Amino acid sequence: MAVYPLKPARKPPLKERGLIAWLRKNLLSSPFNIALTIFGVAILYMIIPPFIKWAFIDANFVGNSKADCTGDGACWVFIKEKLNMFIFGFYPQDILWRPKVVMLGLVALLIFAKFVKGFNKLKLFLIVIYPIIGYILLHGGYFGLEVVETSKWGGLLLTLIIASVGIVLSFPIGVILALGRQSKLPIIRSLSIFYIELIRGVPLITVLFMASVVLPLFFPQGVDFDKLARALIGISLFEAAYVAENIRSGFQAIPKGQYEAADSLGLTYWQKMGLIILPQAIRVTIPNLVGTFISLFKDTSLVMIIGLFDLLSMVNVAANDRDWLGMETEGYVFVAFIFWIFTFGMSLYSKYLEKKLDINKKG
C-alpha cells in the first residue's frame, strides 16, 4: 500500500492576509482609491495636529488664575477653577454634598435597574419615589435642611434634572397619547391626533415660551410655578408627542393576530393593551425611544433661552467673570465634550439594544 505523507501546510499568501493586504484592499486598491486616501490623510493632517497642539501640547493645566495661562493653547485652568460651577451652578458651596448625594444616587439607581435582575416592583417604586427624595434633598425645607431656591440650581445638575424628569414624565403621557391615537373612539382619537400633530409641528422654543409666559395666566392667582417647573412642564408635554409617535410605530409592528388572540381570550381593552400589546410595542420601539430621549437631552440646552442656568449657559456665566474674560472657547469645548459623552453613550446603548432585539427576533 502506497503511503502518502502529509505535505506541510503552506503559508498564507502574503498578498491576501495581514496588514499589507488590508492596506491594499481598503486604502490603495485603485488609483482613485489612492487619491482618496491621500485626500483623507490631508484632511486629518489639517485638523488633528493643530487640535492636539491647542488642547494638550500648548495648553496649561497648572495654576489657579488667568495669569497662569501663558501658552498659546487652551487654558484648562479655567475649567478646573470653575468646575463646581459647571456641575452645580450657583448651588451654595458649603452644602454641595446634597447635589452630590442626589447625583450618585441616580447613578446607583441606574446601575441597580440595569444590572440587578428581578425586583421589578421595587425598581418601579424607586423610579417613582426617587424624584421626590431628590427634590427634598436639593430644595430642602424639610428635616432641617436649608432651603435652596431652584433659581440657584444650575450646570450639569440642572441639565440632568431636566432630562431625567422630562423622560420620566413624558413617557406615561406619551403612552396615553399613543393609546388615544390607536383608539376606535373617534373623539378621543381626534383629540390625540390634534395634540400630537400640533406639538410636532412647532419648535420646542415656542412651547417653552408658552410655558414660561402664558402658563401662569392659565391658573388662578396664587398658584405659581417657578421657572424650573414651567420648563419641565413645557419639555415633558413637548417630548410626550414624540414618545407617542415612537410607541405608535411600535403598535404598527405588532401582528394583527396578537390583537385577535387577546380578544378571543376574552380580555378587556385594558388587559389586552396592558398585558399583550403595550409590552411588545414598547419592546420593539426601545431603540427609537432612546433616540427621542437623546434629542430630549440635547434639547434641555434650550432652557437657557428662557433664563435657566443649565450646563451650556454656565459657559457664558463663567466666561463673563472679570478674571476669566475670553475663555468661551475652552468652556464650549468642555461642555460639548460632556454633552457628547452622554449622548454618544446613549446612542451606543441604543445600538446595543437594537442588536439584542434583532437576535431575539431571529431566535
Partner 1 sequence: MRFLRDEKIRGILYQLITIVGFVLFIVYIAQNTATNIEQRGIKTGFDFLNSTAGFDITESPIPFSPQHTHWDVYKVGLLNTLIVSFWGIVFSTILGLIIGVWRLSSNWLINRIAAAYIEIFRNIPLLLQILFWYNVVLATLPSTRNSISIGDIIFINNRGFFMPDFKLQEGAWIVGLAVIVAIGLVVWLVKWANRKQELTGEQIPVFLYSILILITLPTIAYFIAGEPISATYPVLKGFNFEGGKVYTPEFLALLFALTIYTATFIAEAIRSGIEAVPKGQKEAAISLGLSPWQRLRLVILPQAVRIAIPSIINQYLNLIKNSSLAAAIGYPELVTIFAGTSLNQTGQALEILLITMLTYLAISLIVSLILNWFNNKMKIKER
User: Interface with partner 1 by CB under 8 A: which residues?
Assistant: 26-27, 29, 33, 36-37, 39-41, 43-44, 184-188, 191, 198, 200-206, 209-210, 213-214, 216-221, 294, 298-299, 301-302, 304-305, 312, 315-316, 328-329, 332, 335-336, 339-340, 343-344, 347
* Closer by beta carbon to partner 1, 148 or else 318: 318
| Nearest CA-CA partner of 53 in 67, 73, 33, 70 | 73
Alpha-carbon distance of 80 to 76, in angstroms, equals: 6
Q: Of 138 and 302, which CB lies nearer to partner 1 in the complex structure?
A: 302
Cell triple for 267:
380580555
CB 71, min distance to partner 1, A: 17
Write down the least CB distance from residue 36 to partner 1, Å: 5
In angstroms, give the least distance from the CB of 128 to partner 1. Answer: 24
CA diameter of the chain: 108
Least separation in angstroms between CB 98 and partner 1: 27
Nearer of residues 89 and 134 to partner 1, judged by Cβ: 89
Quick check: 258 and 280 in contact, CB under 8 A?
yes
DSSP string, 144-159: TPPP--GGGB-HHHHH
Decide whether 81 or 299 has the Cβ nearer to partner 1: 299
Which residue, 144 or 186, is less far from partner 1 as judged by CB?
186
360's grid cell: 431575539
Query: Are 196 and 245 a contacting pair, CB within 8 Å?
Result: yes
Helix axes 328-362, 76-88, angle to 10 degrees: 60
**Look-up: residue for cell 493643530?**
50
Q: How far is the CB of 213 from partner 1 (least distance, A)?
A: 4
